[in-house]
């Protein structure tokens, strides 16, 4: 008798997870997500689009150059070339999937410009609602795919290992019920960790849970110190802050101080469209000054805001602000983690049977600072590549004893709030040795209190050990004396 094929388990239902699930056909896939209805991913909040060299006078070489420049040349050059070469085909695949990209009157794709790009090469869908448009199209295809079984409202809390290979997951639902799902392979597509910061553009679920689970199982990690801060989140009360898309600056908005003086004047050749790490530090510094602050002045932007920037307009109006008539208060916010589970370009981690894709993975493509609109691109291109690998077949599970590896209990809510403030002040856009050391000691002393503390300890250790400034990791002190375990 032939045994039924074990499913591929994909943990996470954002763009990367759904693309992987679709591309894995005809292999059976179990797609798991924390929210009951599959919402709540950072993908749905993405206002940027997809970067691709499609315009006249643009090319793959220019896209590669801008990606390397933004990443402080800490990137894996072969990964960058793969991504930039895959970009046009990625856009074409999404177009065929039904994503309604914004177009010019002549029918051609409308290309925008964002920070770090030397030319206009950003493809949007629905103006500043690109992430939501991609999610709608992908979800419709996933729900219609006979090989995908979707289950929401569950948290993957443990990995099952057999003979040193990942062989399944254990999930828990909101009522505390547990279930074991044996798997041919497990894919982590759980997003980033911005929600561990007091001010972030990420939803609450982007808390590094997948990364913490992989670390508990012994998977190698890479570049944990590189956390990107978006320079223009709307400075309002709350944890998950609304973004003011970089495309606003591409359309002519300016960064100014309280007196209306341009913040970026003379600081970078690209001015307001400098790479995100440069702009985020300038905004951070302006906000630290007595009676200081930073604003985004978008009053010069022409055209129909309802068509071009519907998300930004609606968000601002909901907070009593009108971007067409007044400058908007801004703050940096934790936005994207360049680090994660170390993988190759096929998504393989150091632990057999465990894969990662999207923001939870690190294959070196983003370097020390991600180029704007390369994230949705990588999520789709990486998901398609990984899905094809999984569809081709996975090595059989090796014999051996089963054992569980658990992520562990979560921090109590009040402790999580304190951790978010600790990381915001010690591990923000500008870092100093003493603050990093004290924060690391606090997390090390409380490592048993919850998995978030152990993850934060690893992040802070990586930040302490990189004494030089590089990309999004910026040291405000002249040097450091970090010693492992001190």
CB 185 within 8 A of CB 390: yes
Quick one: average pLDDT of 257-274?
91
Which pLDDT score is estimated for 322?
96
For the domain that residue 220 is a member of, what is the CATH number?
3.50.50.60
Quick one: average pLDDT of 373-377?
94
pLDDT attached to residue 311: 86
Is residue 109 scored above 80 in pLDDT?
Answer: yes
Residue 349, in any domain of the structure: yes
Helix (H, G, I), strand (E, B) or coil at 458: helix
pLDDT digits (tens, 9 = 90+) for 349-368: 999 999 999 999 999 999 99
Residues 6+ apart with CB under 8 A from 371: 51, 66, 67, 70, 71, 116, 117, 275
SS3 label, residue 420: helix
Q: Are residues 83 and 181 in the same domain?
A: yes
Stretch 70-89: mean pLDDT, rounded? 97
H or E stretch at 456 = helix 451-465
Among residues 300, 307, 236, the alpha carbon closest in space to that of 262 is found at: 300
Are residues 211 and 349 part of one domain? Answer: yes
Say if residue 120 is in the same domain as residue 252. Answer: no
How far apart are the C-alpha atoms of 440 and 448, rounded to whole Å? 14
* C-alpha to C-alpha distances, 244 to 47, 123, 282, 292, 311, nearest whole angstrom: 8, 17, 16, 20, 9
Give yes or no: residues 85 and 169 share one domain: yes
Residues 211, 260, single domain; the answer is no
What confidence score (pLDDT) does residue 3 get?
45
Nearest alpha-carbon partner for 229 in 336, 72, 128: 336
Of 22-26, 261-265, 272-276, which one has max mean pLDDT?
22-26
> In the sheet that 111-112 helps form, which strands lie side by side, from edge to edge?
50-51, 122-123, 111-112
Domain count, the chain: 3
Q: What is the pLDDT of residue 308?
A: 87
For residue 263, the enclosing domain spans 227-334
Give the mean pLDDT of 203-212: 95
Same domain as 420, residue 392: no
Distances (CA, A) of 358 to 416, 433, 462: 25, 30, 21
In contact, 85 and 377? CB cutoff 8 Å = no
d(CA 176, CA 332): 37
Q: Quick one: pLDDT at residue 2? A: 41
Provide the pLDDT for residue 276.
84
**What pLDDT, on the 0 to 100 scale, is given for residue 37?**
67
- Domain-embedded: residue 479: no
Q: In the listed set 307, 334, 361, which residue is the last one of a domain according to the structure?
A: 334
* Torsions phi, psi for 52 (to 5 deg): -160, 135
Judgement on whether residues 206 and 272 belong to the same structural domain of the protein: no
Residues 232, 282 contacting (CB under 8 angstroms): no
Q: Is residue 423 part of a domain?
A: yes
The SS3 call for residue 159 is strand
Domain boundary among 316, 334, 352: 334
Residue 106 covered by a domain? yes
SS3 217: coil
- Residue 485 is predicted with a pLDDT of 47
Which pLDDT tens digit goes with each residue over 321-354?
999 999 999 999 999 999 999 999 999 999 999 9
Please indicate, yes or no, whether residues 373 and 421 belong to a single structural domain of this protein: no
The chain-wide mean pLDDT, for the chain, equals 92
State whether 284 and 380 are in the same domain.
no
Within 13 Å and on the Cβ side, how many CA atoms surround 23?
25
Name every residue whose Cβ is closer than 8 Å to that of residue 345 and which is 6 or more positions away in sequence.
78, 79, 82, 363, 382, 385
- Interval 427-478: pLDDT, tens: 999 999 999 999 999 999 999 999 999 999 999 999 999 999 999 999 988 6
Measuring CA to CA, which residue among 166, 141, 175, 105 is closest to residue 20? 141
- Going by DSSP bridges, is the β-strand pair 354-356/185-188 parallel, antiparallel, or unpaired? parallel
Residue 13 and residue 51 in one domain: yes
322 pairs with which residues across the strands? none
Number of H helices, E strands in the chain: 13, 19
Is the CB of residue 302 less than 8 Å from the CB of residue 309? Answer: no
Q: Which of 22-26, 46-50, 94-98 has the lowest mean pLDDT?
A: 46-50
- Statement to judge: residues 117 and 233 lie in one domain: no
* pLDDT of 484 above 50: no
On whether both 304 and 195 belong to a single domain, the answer is: no
* Residue 194 lies inside a defined structural domain of this protein: yes
Predicted pLDDT at 394: 77
Q: Domain end: 405, 427, 448, which one? A: 405
Instruction: Please write the tens of the pLDDT for every residue from 215-240.
Output: 999 999 999 999 999 999 999 998 88
Strand-pairing partners, residue 112, are 122
Question: pLDDT-based confidence at 292, cuts 50/70/90?
Answer: confident
Q: Do the domain assignments include residue 478?
A: no
Domain presence at residue 474: no
Give the span between the Cα atoms of 297 and 321, in whole angstroms: 12
- Confidence class of residue 277 from pLDDT cuts 50, 70 and 90? confident
The answer to whether residue 3 sits within a structural domain is: no
Q: Does the structure show a pLDDT above 80 at 197?
A: yes
Q: Is the pLDDT of residue 47 over 80?
A: no
Tell me, what CATH number does 319's domain have? Answer: 3.90.700.10
The whole-angstrom separation of Cα 145 and Cα 23 is 11
Catalytic residues: 276
Please compute Rg for the chain using Cα positions: 22
- The percent of residues above 70 in pLDDT, for the chain, comes to 94
| pLDDT tens-digit series, residues 143-176 | 999 999 999 999 999 999 998 899 999 999 999 9
CA 62 from centroid of its chain's CA atoms = 23
**Which helix (H) or strand (E) is 89 found in, with range?**
helix 77-97
What's the average model confidence in pLDDT over 93-97? 95
User: Which residue has better confidence, 301 or 43?
Assistant: 301
């Amino acid at each position: 008798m032939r045994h039924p094929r074990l499913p591929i388990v994909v943990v996470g239902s954002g763009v990367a997870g759904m693309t992987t699930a679709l591309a894995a056909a005809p292999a059976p896939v179990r797609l798991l997500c924390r929210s009951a209805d599959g919402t709540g991913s950072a993908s749905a909040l993405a206002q940027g689009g997809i970067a691709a060299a499609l315009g006249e006078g643009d090319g793959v070489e220019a896209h590669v150059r801008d990606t390397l420049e933004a990443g402080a040349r800490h990137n894996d050059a072969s990964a960058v070339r793969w991504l930039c070469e895959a970009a046009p085909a990625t856009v074409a695949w999404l177009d065929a999937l039904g994503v309604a990209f914004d177009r010019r009157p002549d029918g051609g794709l409308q290309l925008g410009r964002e920070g770090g790009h030397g030319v206009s090469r950003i493809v949007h869908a629905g103006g500043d609602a690109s992430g939501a448009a991609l999610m709608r199209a992908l979800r419709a295809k996933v729900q219609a795919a006979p090989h995908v079984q979707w289950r929401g409202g569950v948290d993957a809390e443990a990995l099952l290992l057999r003979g040193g290979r990942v062989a399944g997951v254990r999930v828990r639902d909101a009522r505390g019920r547990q279930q074991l799902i044996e798997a041919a392979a497990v894919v982590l597509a759980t997003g980033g960790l911005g929600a561990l910061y007091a001010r972030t553009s990420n939803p609450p679920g982007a808390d590094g849970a997948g990364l913490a689970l992989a670390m508990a199982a012994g998977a190698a990690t890479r570049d944990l110190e590189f956390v990107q801060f978006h320079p223009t989140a709307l400075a309002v009360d709350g944890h998950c802050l609304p973004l003011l898309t970089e495309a606003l600056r591409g359309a002519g908005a300016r960064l100014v101080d309280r007196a209306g003086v341009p913040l970026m004047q003379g600081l970078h050749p690209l001015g307001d469209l400098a790479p995100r790490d440069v702009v985020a530090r300038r905004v951070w510094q302006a906000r630290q000054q007595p009676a200081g602050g930073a604003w985004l002045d978008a009053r010069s932007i022409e055209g129909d805001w309802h068509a071009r920037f519907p998300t930004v307009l609606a968000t601002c109006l909901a907070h009593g602000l009108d971007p067409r008539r007044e400058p908007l208060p801004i703050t940096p916010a934790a936005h994207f983690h360049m680090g994660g589970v170390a993988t190759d370009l096929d998504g393989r981690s150091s632990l057999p049977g465990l894969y990662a894709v999207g923001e939870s993975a690190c294959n070196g493509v983003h370097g020390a600072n991600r180029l704007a609109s390369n994230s949705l691109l990588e999520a789709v291109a990486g998901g398609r590549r990984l899905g094809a690998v999984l569809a081709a077949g996975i090595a059989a599970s090796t014999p051996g004893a089963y054992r569980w590896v658990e992520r562990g209990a979560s921090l109590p809510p009040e402790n999580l709030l304190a951790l978010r403030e600790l990381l915001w002040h010690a591990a923000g856009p500008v870092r100093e040795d003493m603050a990093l050391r004290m924060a690391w000691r606090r997390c090390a002393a409380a490592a048993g209190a919850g998995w978030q503390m152990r993850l934060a300890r690893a992040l802070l250790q990586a930040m302490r050990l990189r004494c030089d400034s590089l990309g999004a990791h910026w040291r405000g002190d002249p040097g450091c004396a970090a010693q492992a375990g001190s």
